[in-house]
Structure 1
Amino acid sequence: MLNQEAIETLFTHAHTNHAWLDKPVTNGQLREIYELMKWCPTAFNCSPIRIAFIKSDQAKARLAACVSPGNVEKVRSAPITAIVGMDMAFGRKMPQLYPHADVQGMMEANPKLAEETAFRNSSLQGGYFILAARAVGLDCGPMSGFDAEKVNAEFFVGTQVKANFICSIGYGDHDKIKPRLPRLTFEASCALVL
């Protein structure tokens, strides 16, 4: 079992960040995040997540042009903003990732299933991404306020990748964190089905 400090780092003391310290995130840290999150489960080991790490001022300006007004400064000021995408043609990788069944054929025969699988599992991997970033000492600011078609045209043109959500990462300015908002209780969210 994780110790209390680890639980606090990953869950109870972690906040969504939108203000950042002027401290860089290294390429090594980005690789470390990926190397942790890639081991978490997905259906058929399909691993549809594809991540574009937006780092330069020029790339930030391109992404800022695709987000809602309230997210522009969040993208510009963050050391890195990850575009968490989903490979809609992830089935091509299935002979490598799940060689004991014809998942590629199953997905090619059922485009609706393939789309649902890509979305559901890239979302799962996006959650793992946030936890992995926290585990390596970074803060996260996930966002959904963006024009997906613009993001896809700007960053994923010529590919089968589509944006799922965006997430800034870096060292948060904890002096600017808003108080934690309430969460629903177990009783309000869960049912024990016996």
Structure 2
Amino acid sequence: MSATLDVLALPREAQDLLFREARTASVFTAEPVTDDQLRAVHDLVKWGPTGVNSQPLRVVYLRGEQARARLLPHMNEGNRDKTAKAPLTAILASDADFHEHLPRTFPVVPGIRDAFAANPDRAEVAKVSALLQAGYFIIGVRAAGLAAGPMAGFDAEGVRREFFEGTARTPLVVVNIGHPDPERYYPRNPRLDFDEVATVL
């Protein structure tokens, strides 16, 4: 057993579920993903930190064939078939109008809504925090016993027009979600070690 496990507060079983045994999935079983599972994932990951508690991530879930048919033409060819066959697909987007909620989610600073309304970099601020939330989202999916297949291979402008026209929302990641089929996993690729990525000053 690795010595690093001894300093982690999270039990080994949970570590494995969220990280070591979890895999990016391309193929899923036919078992559906329920609305109760989606709500449970949200209720867990909403506590992840974001800038000024902005919570700019917005999620569109595609379950029905008609809804999925709107997305498929915008997926890269290599991602189209697995998206068509996944039990559920989520479009994760950032909302540059996150500031409208700040009086409720970050009430400690009077006038914060108006300050961000005037910020020309508001969309980039939203993107950074929404990408943080996308990471939490994937971990939350794993915590529900599901697998996630996140993809950046799609026509972002096409998806924006199809699903977010007339809003301040920008698609960032498309995630296929379902119960994993371990028999169809690809061999696991290696990861970089601590000393290859970290500098301690």
TM-score strictly above 0.5: yes
Larger mean Cα displacement after TM superposition, 22-31 or 98-107: 98-107
Picking from 175, 190, 193, the partner of 2:198 is 190
**1:88 match:** 96
Picking from 74, 77, 97, the partner of 2:82 is 74
| Counterpart-to-counterpart distance in 2, 1:9 and 1:88 | 33
Secondary structure of the residue aligned to 1:163 is strand
| 2:49 equivalent to 1:32 | no
Residue 103 of structure 1 and its aligned partner are, at CA, apart by 2.6
5+ long unaligned stretches in structure 2: 1-8
Residue 73 of structure 1 and its aligned partner are, at CA, apart by 0.9
Alignment deviations for residues 37-67 of structure 1 (CA, whole Å, 9 cap, x no partner): 1111111100000000011111111111111
| Counterpart-to-counterpart distance in 2, 1:111 and 1:104 | 13
Picking from 58, 63, 71, the partner of 1:63 is 71
5+ long unaligned stretches in structure 1: none
| Counterpart-to-counterpart distance in 1, 2:50 and 2:69 | 33
Q: How does 1:134-145 map to 2 (within 5 A)?
A: 134-145=142-153
| Counterpart-to-counterpart distance in 1, 2:100 and 2:120 | 13
Picking from 103, 111, 126, the partner of 2:120 is 111
| Counterpart-to-counterpart distance in 1, 2:69 and 2:83 | 8
**2:140 match:** 132
Q: How does 1:9-48 map to 2 (within 5 A)?
A: 9-48=17-56
**2:6 match:** none
Amino acid in structure 2 at the alignment position of 1:75: T
Picking from 93, 96, 100, the partner of 2:108 is 100
Residue 74 of structure 1 and its aligned partner are, at CA, apart by 1.6
Residue identity (%)? 40
TM-score by length of 2: 0.93
**1:50 match:** 58
Amino acid in structure 2 at the alignment position of 1:105: D
**1:164 match:** 172
| Counterpart-to-counterpart distance in 1, 2:129 and 2:92 | 12
Secondary structure of the residue aligned to 2:94 is strand
TM-score by length of 1: 0.96
**1:4 match:** 12
Q: Give structure 1 regions of 4+ aligned residues with deviation exceeding 4 angstroms.
A: none
Amino acid in structure 2 at the alignment position of 1:165: V
**CA RMSD of superposed structures (Å):** 1.0
Residue 116 of structure 1 and its aligned partner are, at CA, apart by 2.0
Residue 183 of structure 1 and its aligned partner are, at CA, apart by 1.0
Secondary structure of the residue aligned to 2:59 is strand
